[in-house]
Amino acid sequence: MRILIAEDDIITRRLLAAQLKNWGHELVVCSDGQQAWEQINRTGSPKLVVLDWMMPGMDGLTLSREIRKLETKPYTYIILLTARSSKEDIVDGMEAGADDYIIKPFEPQELRVRIRAATRIVQLQEDLLKALEKSEFQASHDALTGLWNRYAILGILHRELARGFREMNPVSVIMADIDHFKKINDTYGHLTGDEVLRQTANRLTHLLRPYDAVGRYGGEEFLLVLPSCSTQEALNVAERLRGSFQENPINNVEGSFNVSLSFGVVMVRGKDSQDADAIIGLADEALYKAKNLGRNRVEFGGELLS
């Protein structure tokens, strides 16, 4: 585990560092409080810190208070190192935000078990955070394509409509659907169908602006949300996407697939998020029109203005 130690007394510092290194820990060593504070503010700083109470510049108590104000994730575990051993002092230390304390001069065995307990808590916190991040990702993303899922892309649409309404900016919405997708599945099997979906998703993502959002709306249907995008720009985007699929086949182990997409485009200005359903309805209608007119084309569903 990476541990930060801050101790101004050179002998104690060396002793502490030698012990911790001996037990396999990686150290960031500071000789005063100010130095420690700078290290703690760096990204990726150790989440276990051992602070001497009495130090020039910034003492361990002040440091503890400042660390607690940061509200970092994951939690920083603080062990105070102190020559003070009265109950009042210890209470002060814990109230400043320390998790544990060790009284100097310390016994290596005591240091060892305290560090072990601290390591366990820091590790647990990190594991928990990772699990949380993973479940948040899974809750908002489509497992097959890695795109936003239907729930998440609708959330983004609502948010962008509200923002567009506030800032009086247009928002464009594109509904895109892979043509004859069922035929790909029926002819080559679902694994190939999945691969086509993945690569389609990948290409859509790469061809959009970084602040555009694309989600898997249904089976082979994608919803694209383009903030600050006028009608003409949105039509250009859809046309560019359509052209890319027409010109570049999707390649996989089964060979080369000429996949085409149909698009329905709608532009909205001055409409709040309560109109999301109506907007999707219009984009859907335009998409069906594109399908009926022969597929592999872009149809405009109109402008929705306040």
Q: Which residues lie near Mg ion (CB under 5 A)?
A: 8, 52, 54
Q: Which residue is nearest to Mg ion (CB)?
A: 54
State in angstroms the smallest separation of the CB of 16 from Mg ion.
12
State in angstroms the smallest separation of the CB of 95 from Mg ion.
20
**Please, which residue, 80 or 161, has the CB nearer to Mg ion?**
80
**Please, which residue, 92 or 303, has the CB nearer to Mg ion?**
92
Q: Please name the residues in contact with 87: beta carbons below 8 A apart, sequence gap of 6 or more.
A: none
| 95 is an active site residue | no
State in angstroms the smallest separation of the CB of 204 from Mg ion.
59
Q: Which of 220, 221, 247, 299 is catalytic?
A: 220
Q: Sheet of 48-52: strands edge to edge? A: 26-30, 2-6, 48-52, 77-82, 100-103
Token pair, residue 132, equals 């949380």
Torsion of CA 92, 116, 42, 38, to 10 degrees: 40
How far is residue 14's CA from residue 26's CA, in Å, rounded to a whole number? 14
CB count in 10 Å sphere of residue 110 = 11
How far is residue 281's CA from residue 300's CA, in Å, rounded to a whole number? 13
How far is residue 76's CA from residue 36's CA, in Å, rounded to a whole number? 13
Length of the chain: 306
Instruction: Report the amino acid identity of residue 172.
Output: S
How far is residue 10's CA from residue 3's CA, in Å, rounded to a whole number? 18
State in angstroms the smallest separation of the CB of 55 from Mg ion.
5
**Please, which residue, 84 or 150, has the CB nearer to Mg ion?**
84
Instruction: Report the amino acid identity of residue 58.
Output: M
**Please, which residue, 29 or 234, has the CB nearer to Mg ion?**
29
Looking up tokens 């290409």 gives 203
The answer to whether 157 touches 272, Cβ cutoff 8 Å, is: no
**Please, which residue, 55 or 226, has the CB nearer to Mg ion?**
55
**Please, which residue, 52 or 142, has the CB nearer to Mg ion?**
52
Q: Which residues, listed in sequence order, are joined to residue 215 by a DSSP beta bridge?
A: 148, 223
How far is residue 44's CA from residue 235's CA, in Å, rounded to a whole number? 44
Q: Please name the residues in contact with 190: beta carbons below 8 A apart, sequence gap of 6 or more.
A: none
Q: Which positions are annotated as active-site residues? A: 220
